[in-house]
Structure 1
Amino acid sequence: MTDESPELRASDADRERVAERLREAVAEGRLDMEEFQERLDATYKARTYGELAPVTRDLPDASAPSAVPARASSTGTGAWAERIGGAGTSSRGVAIMSGFSRKGVWTVPRRFNCFAFWGGGEVDLREARFEAPEVVVNCVAIMGGVDVIVPPGVEVVVRGIGVMGGFEERLGDDLPERGAPRVIVTGFAFWGGVGVKRKVTRAQKRQLKEERRRGELE
């Protein structure tokens, strides 16, 4: 993969290596978010090495796609820079003798309020973006329950109060990753509960299994 063969078709792995170098450049302060987004769009649209090479040409050790080092991530979360920023897409969840769910790709606002009365709710942050480096998930559960699911690497602080109910943490020993957002879970539980747990997505589970399998074969 050099400038001498710019017409050769690039693979998905080539594009991912360049995308990862761009994420590292944001974390290093070499690119701002606007530049990052423009270059990331160009990366995923690129079909040949000739189209990929200019994306990282002005970054250290990135004169061609082959020069961009791949960085392994056991969780698949990688760098966080591209997941922080933008306006929140949902500000509340309400379950009154019913349920609500916020999951998949969405943007968590600076403060997300949820209320469950004789019902249940789910706030899943595993594939979410974050409006700010620190967000608050405020949960009120009255004879109901709310589950907050966070991905590995995120810093979590739980400050809720329970009366004949409580806040349960199942976060494990996972350490915060550099640049990861901080999630503060707060609120009130009366005859109800708020559960905070850390989980990976199914896709990340498959990736972990594949990484372990490759490690066993090497």
Structure 2
Amino acid sequence: MTDDASPDLRASDADRERVAEVLRDAVAEGRLDMEEFEERLEAVYKARTYGELTPITRDLPAAGAATPTPVSFVKASAESGGWASRVVGGEGSSSGGIAILSGFERKGRWTVPKRFSCFAFMGGGEIDLREANFADHEVEINCVAVMGGVQVVVPPGVEVVVRGIGIMGGFEHPRDDGPAEPGAPRVIIGGIAFWGGVGVERKVTRAEQKRLKEQRRQEKLEHRRSRHELRQAVREDGHELHRAQLEEWHELHRQRREERRERRRGRRY
């Protein structure tokens, strides 16, 4: 693990696959037997943080090379200009939105003012901040929804404070994705929802979604290649895997894949 990687940081599927690869190499080299391999592999897919992953390969020679490296959204953001380049000051490009028996959208490249007000009566609106710039480090979005709804989409790393009041309606709080990132703006969402609702959710950009999809595809290809190499290495070493053990190993991987799919569906919805 790198010096700046906290053991409390959440591990990704890619991190777990890298550690699993070390275990596959170890069993192929005879450093682990199948029982140890299965126990450690199960621990890998149960791990949630770097601190839980690190001990699994600590006694293996390749552990240092395969120790997970945290993927920092802050670093990615800095490479593309960083939050500093998105807090531009000045006036917003839109100060509000109205939806009366209709709808409105604010999405793509636009500048969020210090105060954005919107009203939805038997209609709906979408305020997407994933690609937006911000007029200030703290912006306020005031929503009034009467028998209608407003959906606010924020990127990871942005601090969100929900202060709205629901009367036979409600304000949804976003899922907690960790502390706010350095330099990220603070978004305060207030107002009132009467027989309506204001939803808030975190999503990555479409470009990031596409990148993650391609990354998962590459991980699957790498996983298949690793399984093939493991079988080949075991054959070359003259070891034979018992059929029941092999079937159990495949079943374990199938279950882990299903669990990861369920987690992704949960994050997506």
Report the TM-score, using the length of structure 2 for normalisation. 0.51
Which of 202, 210, 213 is the equivalent residue of 1:206?
Answer: 210
Are 2:186 and 1:182 equivalent residues in the alignment? yes
Structure 2: runs of 5 or more not aligned: 1-69, 224-269
State the alpha-carbon separation in 2 of the partners of residues 101 and 179 from structure 1: 26
Task: For residues 119-161 of structure 1, give each alpha carbon's deviation from its aligned partner in whole angstroms, at most 9, with x where no partner exists.
Answer: 0000100000000000000000001000000000100000000
Name the % identity: 64
Hey, what does 1:96 align to over in structure 2?
100
Hey, what does 1:172 align to over in structure 2?
176
State the alpha-carbon separation in 1 of the partners of residues 72 and 177 from structure 2: 17
Which deviates more, 130-139 or 86-95?
86-95
Q: How far did residue 176 of structure 1 move? A: 1.0
Which residues in structure 2 correspond to 1:29-178 (within 5 Å)? Answer: 73-74=72-73, 76-78=76-78, 79-86=82-89, 87-178=91-182
State the alpha-carbon separation in 2 of the partners of residues 132 and 85 from structure 1: 7
State the alpha-carbon separation in 1 of the partners of residues 113 and 164 from structure 2: 19
State the alpha-carbon separation in 2 of the partners of residues 101 and 128 from structure 1: 13
Q: How far did residue 204 of structure 1 move? A: 0.7
What is the SS of the residue equivalent to 2:210?
helix
One-letter amino acid matched to 1:80: W
Task: For residues 54-78 of structure 1, give each alpha carbon's deviation from its aligned partner in whole angstroms, at most 9, with x where no partner exists.
Answer: xxxxxxxxxxxxxxxxx96458544
Q: Which has the higher strand share?
A: 1
What is the SS of the residue equivalent to 2:208?
helix
One-letter amino acid matched to 1:172: D
Q: Which has the larger radius of gyration?
A: 2
Report if the CA contact (8 A) 2:112-2:134 is conserved.
yes
Q: How far did residue 170 of structure 1 move? A: 2.9
Task: Name the Cα RMSD after superposition.
Answer: 2.2
State the alpha-carbon separation in 1 of the partners of residues 86 and 216 from structure 2: 27
Change over 3 Å in CA distance of 1:178–1:213 after alignment to 2:
farther
State the alpha-carbon separation in 1 of the partners of residues 126 and 149 from structure 2: 9
Report if the CA contact (8 A) 1:155-1:180 is conserved.
yes
The number of residues matched between the two structures is 148
State the alpha-carbon separation in 2 of the partners of residues 81 and 212 from structure 1: 30
One-letter amino acid matched to 1:84: V
Report if the CA contact (8 A) 1:148-1:194 is conserved.
yes
Q: How far did residue 214 of structure 1 move? A: 6.0
State the alpha-carbon separation in 1 of the partners of residues 154 and 145 from structure 2: 19
State the alpha-carbon separation in 2 of the partners of residues 175 and 197 from structure 1: 15
